[in-house]
Structure 1
Amino acid sequence: YFPTGEIKLQTTLVKGQPNGAVRELYASGQAAAEVTYVDGQPNGPVKFFYPSGKVQSEGTLRNGLLASSYKTYFETGQLESETVMDDKTGKGSYRAYYPTGQLQTEGTYAPAAVRERQVTNKLGDDLTKRVAPRTGTAALDGPATSYYESGKVRSKTTYRLGTPTGHGIELYESGQIKTETDYASQGRDRKVARYYDAPGQPRQAEEQYKNNRSAGTWREFYPDGKTPRQVENYAANGKLTGERVTYFDTGKVQTRQQFDINGLQTGLGQEYYASGQARKEANYLKGILVGAFQEFHDDGSPAVTGQYKNGKQSGDWTYYKPDGHSIARQVTYRDGKPAGATTRTKLNGKPYVPKKK
């Protein structure tokens, strides 16, 4: 029963196991699921419903395995997916559709028995929830192809019991390769190459994963496919480590950052102008700004100097005019906030005194 007293599940038990029809209801009294059991195993017709009463999925099970066909529907009534079993091979064909009815994915279905156990909770909800066969890529075994709604191929992947294996590709709608992935270790390890949608298929990025974690050296490229945009490294724990460098499209360094084994920025961080001249220098400890900070004009002269403490501006900060020598103002910070008077100067270097209103 629901806490409010309405019936939630109905069935007949024989020797403690469900036999015959198992019926689950919504609080409204509308059927949510109808499943046939024989000696504790799902056998026969299976149906699931939306709260509106429309069929969500339907099929037939034999000894806990999908038999014949299994269909799922959008709430509009449009077919969402269809699995058709072949009794000779023990496998089936799988097709999924867009709401428009256009084919989205097709492949080979790998049957899997519904996970069964002795029923201890005589009217447990799982009598219906555990019955629904797997759908989607988790049920595929062998080559599978997905499509754009236009009908053009979107991806080609080979599955082994629901897990990608071997070489897979994803395509742009133009037909150009978007991504190439080589899978290993049941899909946990993979190398990924991404490409721009442009003539010549210039490379956009290179990535690696180990045990489903980012690993090794990752690279991003500008649209020419050769000039690096960013290079970074990942440790065995999947976290950013060592040096990350970003580049201008000219190939010159834009930023340099260091990361510790926990993926937190550490040490000296540097930023540059496109000319190669230093723009900023800051220090980090466990991802927090600490110590000296410097910012420079594009001619290399100082623009700002100061200190950070626990990620906040601290002590005396000096802001320089464009000539890099004359002081525009000086500010003393405490815990990230200005403390005391701010000193400002005119262009001639003399103290600035605001006019009285």
Structure 2
Amino acid sequence: MIPRRAAPCRPAAPTGKPGRWLRLGLAALVPLFGAAAAHAQQDCDLNGRSVNPSNGASTDGKTGLMRCKDRASGELQREEQLQNGVYMGLVRIYEKGKLAKEHSVNAKGNIQGRAREFSPAGRVLREATYDDGQERGLVRSFYPDGKLRRVVFYPDTGNGSERASAEFTERGQLSALRCADAPTLSPAVDDAKLCGFAGTGASQVELFDAQGNLRSRLAYVSGKRTRSQSFYDNGKTAVLDETVGNQRTEQNYSSEGVKRRETAYLLVERANVRVREQAFSEKGTLVRDQRWNSAGEPIVDDSYYLNGQPSSKSAYGNSGDMRTVEITEFYDSGERAAQGRYQVVGRSRQIPVGTHQRFSEKGKLLAESTFDAKGRITRERVWDENGELQRDDEVFEDGSRKAFAQ
């Protein structure tokens, strides 16, 4: 096998679409080469002999620990292990002469085994275990005082996507939680208790912000969140999300504590199908009520005036193969104002069909329009407040009209 000759001081081309490196231009190249020049001011030695990491010939076939120092200050900046000319094994990075990072790499240059990061005081800030560059098992990060900041669990196989996690504030209070389908965060965190795996019913979890304010309350059963309640700065509920059986309900509140929206979902094969949504005014009165069937098709869409009277009612149904909606509008007194039937075409388009009527607030018929199957008006009649017919027109495709002949 031909030894891999690494050149740490060489600036790497940015990743992305072909040609991006060329498009960076001279302005981008200056700081990159400036950084390379800064690295060139290091003095490196291997087994007591001077080597140049940028020149593979100086390390070809050699084994040992290469140590590089800043030429001006003499401070140690990094240590890298070589095996037969290949950068493989221990790697240590120093900042201002103090150890900042420590890990090992395999023959492919990927991190292998334990990796740690340190504070200037020497405390561990992060520790993880890698397998060919992929994080595995528990990965922990800490605050400078040593308190746990975040713990994440990665599975032993796959692409290394995060499975479970917990985060803490500097006060040591839990600030975020993600549960897996089994306890995975022990011994760093007792997620068997937090995520409801203890077999004693739903867990009760509280999350806090950096100032120590309660931000949310959660409940878990066997790793699944069954209830979530978040709060405003004033302590009032912002969102309440709860799952019971196969139905999930989400309620949204104003900062004054008034419910403004409630949405119900049907849980079907890992999907949430919206089946009802209600909207409320600033004072908490119902202003709209919508309902859908399990297939996501609308069934009811009713709206209301602030005085509580209905503003409009829409009832959906089927007429043969045609999906229709019957819409009735109202005056704020509760009296019917208009009604008509529409053919539903797609999600947002409706075609008027049949006879549509408009009424006075006293309930008298004022106007009537008739539409054909294509939504074109074919006849239009108008009455006065006394019920006397004022106009009866036949309407043609081009918009012209004439008196309707009996």
Pairwise TM-score range, normalised by the shorter structure: 0.5 to 0.7
Matched residue type, 2:215: K
The answer (yes or no) to whether the contact 2:335–2:363 under 8 Å persists in 1 is yes
Q: CA deviation at 1:223?
A: 4.5
How far has the Cα of 1:182 moved from its partner? 3.0
Q: How far off its partner does 1:320 sit?
A: 3.1
Correspondence for 1:4: none
Q: How many angstroms does 1:306 deviate by?
A: 0.5
Pick the aligned partner of 1:325 from 364, 384, 387. 364
Q: Which residue of 2 aligns with 1:182?
A: 219
| Cα drift, residue 209 of structure 1 | 5.8
Q: Hey, what does 1:61 align to over in structure 2? A: 104
Q: Does structure 1 retain, via aligned residues, the 8 Å contact 2:369–2:381? A: yes
Q: Helix, strand or coil: the match of 2:356?
A: strand
The answer to whether the Cα contact below 8 Å between 2:281 and 2:306 also exists between their aligned partners in 1 is yes
Name the counterpart of 2:272.
Answer: 239
Change in CA separation of 1:252 and 1:114 when aligned onto 2, cut-off 3 Å: closer
Residue aligning to 2:290: 257
Deviation at 1:282, TM superposition (A): 1.2
Tell me how far 1:241 sits from its aligned partner. 5.5
Q: Which has the higher contact order (CA 8 A, sep 6+)?
A: 1
- Indicate if the aligned counterparts of 1:59 and 1:69 stay in contact, CA closer than 8 A: yes
Q: 1:302 touches 1:325 (CA, 8 Å); kept in 2?
A: no
Cα deviation for residue 305 of structure 1 reads: 0.8
Q: Distance in 1 between matches of 2:296 and 2:385?
A: 45
Alpha carbons 2:206, 2:218 under 8 Å: kept: yes
Cα displacement string for residues 277-313 of structure 1 (whole angstroms, at most 9, x for unaligned residues) = 2222212259x96142211111222211100112422
Q: Deviations over 1:51-77 (max 9, x none)?
A: xxxxxx986236612323289xxxxxx
Q: 2:91–2:105: 8 Å Cα contact kept in structure 1?
A: no
Q: Amino acid of the residue matched to residue 94 of structure 1?
A: S
Q: Distance in 2 between matches of 1:41 and 1:343?
A: 91
- Distance in 2 (CA, whole Å) between partners of 1:93 and 1:252 is 49
Deviations 1:189-235 (A, max 9, x none): 3421122332xx2223321369xx99433333454547574252433
Larger Rg over CA atoms? 2
Structure 1's unaligned 5+ residue stretches are: 1-12, 48-56, 72-81, 98-104, 117-129
In the TM superposition, residue 326 of structure 1 has moved relative to its aligned partner by 4.7
- Mapped to 2, the partners of 1:208 and 1:22 lie a distance apart of 56
The structure with the greater share of residues assigned to helix is 2
Q: Which among 170, 173, 194 is matched to residue 230 of structure 2?
A: 194
SS across alignment from 1:300: coil
Counterpart selection for 1:304 from 305, 317, 338: 338
Q: Deviations over 1:129-156 (max 9, x none)?
A: x8xx98xxx4986x63258xxxx99962
Q: Answer with 105-114 or 297-306: which moved more.
A: 105-114
| Equivalent of residue 107 in structure 1, options 146, 149, 170 | 149
Number of positions where the alignment pairs a residue of Structure 1 with one of Structure 2: 278
Check 1:317–1:113 CA distance in 2 against 1; reply closer, same or farther (3 A cut).
closer
Q: Is the 8 A contact 1:331 1:338 kept in 2?
A: no
Distance 2:383 2:189 in 1: 68
Contact 2:150–2:168 (8 Å) recurs in 1: no
| Residue among 154, 160, 176 paired with 1:157 | 176
Indicate the residue corresponding to 1:100 in structure 2. Answer: none
Q: Does the CA contact (< 8 Å) of 1:207 and 1:219 recur in 2?
A: yes
CA separation in 1, counterparts of 2:116 and 2:209?
Answer: 35
- TM-score, structure 1 length as denominator? 0.54
Q: TM-score, normalised by structure 2?
A: 0.49
Structure 1 residues 114 and 276, CA gap change in structure 2 (3 angstroms): closer
Give secondary structure in 1 for the equivalent of 2:324. Answer: strand
Q: Percent identity?
A: 12
- Cα distance between partner residues in 1 of 2:374 and 2:174: 51
Residue number in structure 2 paired with 1:284: 316
- Would the alpha carbon gap of residues 179 and 112 (structure 1) be closer, same or farther in structure 2, given more than 3 Å must change? closer
Q: Distance in 1 between matches of 2:81 and 2:370?
A: 78
Unaligned runs of at least 5 residues, structure 2: 23-28, 33-52, 54-79, 94-99, 107-111, 130-136, 179-183, 195-203, 393-406
Of 141, 152, 166, 1:94 maps to: 141
1:144 aligned partner = 167
Task: Work out whether residues 149 and 168 of structure 2, in 8 Å CA contact, stay in contact via their aligned partners in 1.
Answer: yes
> What's the C-alpha RMSD, in Å, of the aligned pairs?
5.5
Matched AA of 1:308: Y
1:163 deviation in Å? 10
SS of residue in 2 equivalent to 1:310: strand
On the 8 A contact 1:277/1:299 being kept in 2, the answer is: yes
